[in-house]
Amino acid sequence: MVEPSGTEQREPTGWAFVRMMVREFVHEWRHPTPFPVRYLRCDDGCGRVTPHSSIQRIYTLRVAEREVAAPPAEAVCDECRHAQPRTVGDEITADVTVTCTGHPFRRFGSKRSRRTCGQQFAVPGTASSVLCPWRATSQPNPAPPPPANR
Ligand SMILES: [Zn+2]
Ligand SMILES: [Zn+2]
C-alpha cells in the first residue's frame, strides 16, 4: 500500500468542518446549559404546537453577484422537521409548568441515567409534545389543556 503524499499539509475542508462540529459538541457537553426551545404553531407542517429546538439557515451563493445571501433563520419543527421562517410574535406563550420525567444521558457513556431529570420548565398547554431544555428529552405534554375561559 502506498501512502498518498502531502496528506498532512493538505486538509480537505470536510475535516475542518467535522473538527469544528466536534469542538462545539464537546463544549456543549462540558457546559450543559438550557438551550432555547421555542414553541411555535407548525402551520404548514403538522399543524400542531410543537417544540422547535433547532434552526436552519440556507445560505445561497450567488456566483454572478459574488455574494452570499443569508436569509433569516428558519425554525425547524421537532416532530415533522418542517422549517418555517420566524415571525414577530410567533412564539406560543408558555402558560403551564411541567416536570421532566425523562432520564438524562449519563455524563460518560451513552447510557441513560436511572434518575429522572426532574427539571421544571414552562410550556404552552396546547403543545402536543414538550422538550426538556436541559437534556433534550422529549415527552408528550402531560399538562392538561388550559381552561377555555381564560
Ligand atoms: Zn411540524
Ligand atoms: Zn429533563
At residue 91, does pLDDT exceed 60? yes
44 φ/ψ angles, rounded to the nearest 5 degrees: -90, -5
Measuring CA to CA, which residue among 90, 58, 63, 88 is closest to residue 74?
58
Quote the ligand 1 centre to 5 CA distance (angstroms).
Answer: 49
State mean pLDDT over 112-130.
88
Quote the ligand 2 centre to 4 CA distance (angstroms).
Answer: 48
100 φ/ψ angles, rounded to the nearest 5 degrees: -70, 125
Quote the ligand 2 centre to 103 CA distance (angstroms).
Answer: 7
More confident residue, 88 or 124: 124
Quote the ligand 1 centre to 85 CA distance (angstroms).
Answer: 13
State how far the alpha carbon of 78 is from the alpha carbons of 53, 109, 137, 138, in Å.
Answer: 7, 25, 12, 9
Task: Give the pLDDT confidence score for residue 149 in this predicted structure.
Answer: 59
pLDDT bin (cut points 50, 70, 90) of residue 116 is confident
Residue-wise pLDDT tens digits, 18-66: 887 788 777 666 666 788 899 999 999 999 999 999 888 877 777 777 7
Q: Cell numbers 421544571 label which residue? A: 120
Task: Give the pLDDT confidence score for residue 144 in this predicted structure.
Answer: 67
Residue-wise pLDDT tens digits, 95-107: 999 998 887 776 6
Quote the ligand 1 centre to 103 CA distance (angstroms).
Answer: 24
Quote the ligand 2 centre to 34 CA distance (angstroms).
Answer: 10
